[in-house]
Structure 1
């Protein structure tokens, strides 16, 4: 994060990095303006940003354009990806970046979440990962693969600058024995040269210069 940057955090709710407030404070301190935009009222509880806006991204307008827009575990909930990414093209300045961190649609947990009734999502989430019910939202998975993300952003005037699949070993993190077995399974996949089935997607996209 360069000093004096304008940062737009999309869908972060009441915190930018809920599990790492020190990093959130450090990054915000480097910026001139940090704006959080989220359709949930809980965005008003965000104490890290300079401005909290309760609004869908598509309805948000700003007199400034941002150097950076971030989405952490957000795009899996987006119902209209084309309109959503077009809004980023309007809000991010030429040369600016968008960082997307999201669920990989083609993983066991994501597949299960599409068939399990939404009313059961929070009880299951609370058991395995904790968290409040207010942070549990329906999922769509309409932009949760590399090919889909790259096409959406390209059509909106962005180029992919980096992309990674990040192994996710958090499923049994609250249960020591199960987490140990999960780590053993992950080591086994690495030993045979195979990708671990549970992973998240990290994509970085830069808006083309006009």
Structure 2
């Protein structure tokens, strides 16, 4: 049986998308590290937070892998990842320019997605245009539960840990994985959350 490092991208993507395999994602990310760093260098002067950039890159890779499988592996994963990352960076630059023209109080409502019984479900920043107040940002239990079914065991553990306000370092120690694996799992579960929201809409 082939090790993860010996597998073709197509096989790793299948494991990631169909089997929610965290190790497959780690190997794919390492293979495409040069693309990630190329755009970090290219747009470094416009990137406000390097950690946020790596989160953007990891989410982009996960989304590109989903599209790549859906379209039958018919194009270059390197090129697709590069285009997705660059598009996301340009979008962020435009949003930053727009934010500078808005009063701070008008920019974003913090978070507020909760279960119906008042317990926290998922933490994120929600653009103000989606809700007239933070209290209106509710996620039905059924929808949240269906979202959880899309998560791998590691992603689910990381989500629960973040909701319990545990640090990445604490989670890594508790789960017996690296801090980088915890962060990548968090990036993926956020990408899945966005996709779940889009499907609900």
Q: Same fold (TM over 0.5)?
A: no
**Shorter-chain TM-score: what band?**
under 0.3
Task: Decide which structure has greater strand share.
Answer: 1
Task: Decide which structure has greater helix share.
Answer: 2
